Amino acid sequence: MYSKFSETPIFKGINPGEVVHILNLVHHQIKTYEPETIIAYSGDECINLYILIEGSVRGEAVDLKGKVIKIEDINAPDTFAEAFLFADENNLLVNIVTNTKTKILIIYKNDLLQLFKSNKKILENYLNIISNRFVLVTKKLKFLSLKTIKGKLANYILGLERKNEGKQHFLIDKTQEQLAEYFGVTRPSLARALGEMKDEGLIEIKRKEIKILDRNSLVQMLK
């Protein structure tokens, strides 16, 4: 099990044997949760670092009408809620819910501070995690500023292009249902927007494969 710990971002670059030694220096817990279990509620004070060893969790928000909105899926190996831990206002803004059977390593704030003092690599990894989260949030804010479904699709497709090193032909990594949920729209609305982009000669779609035909027009949709 400890070999999985070294695969997490917080222990990146540290061998499993050293991770065991590090954890023996501080108080920590390893907890297992069944699927669809709420680990933490929106409004809870964040006093621990949660390290996802096995499984998957999601962040959920509830709007004023009681509609549940999925914010993000997080899959092992990863951390979550780290951005709240040292904030002045350290109350969670979402519920944390398990998607699958999940195993989590929990390290308390004061113990984490002790690890920062004793191991420079852990501090460096933590700062890297926080920085990457900031970049991700910035990208999401840019995404939310896009008003149309086609604009959001253009942003998503161009993002896939970057991931595939500029190739014009690649696989979509989400189902239409997952995309609709991610965009906060209905599946029929998403399908209609995809159909319009195809008819306009912007993209070509065949099952889960997509090909960019008019990149310039996709870029214009982001403005």
* More confident position, 178 or 11: 11
- Report cis status (omega within 30 of 0) of the bond before 77: yes
Q: What is the mean pLDDT of residues 97-113?
A: 97
How many CA atoms are closer than 13 Å to the CA of 139, on its beta-carbon side?
10
Task: Return d(Cα 179, Cα 90) in angstroms, integer.
Answer: 30
What the block records as the tokens of 127 is: 């700062």
Structure tokens, 203: 């993209």
Q: At what angle do helices 176-183 and 149-163 cross, to 10 degrees?
A: 120
Query: Which pLDDT band, with edges at 50, 70 and 90, does 215 fall under?
Result: very high
User: pTM, whole model, 2 decimals?
Assistant: 0.74
Q: What is the pLDDT of residue 223?
A: 80
Strands (E), 55-187: 56-62, 68-75, 78-80, 95-98, 102-108, 169-171
- What gap in Å lies between CA 40 and CA 46, rounded to an integer? 9
- Which H or E run contains 85? helix 82-85
Residues 120-140 have pLDDT tens digits of 999 999 999 999 999 888 887
For residue 1, name the pLDDT band (cuts at 50, 70, 90): low
The answer to whether residue 2 scores a pLDDT higher than 80 is no
Domains and CATH numbers, the chain: 2-144 (2.60.120.10), 149-220 (1.10.10.10)
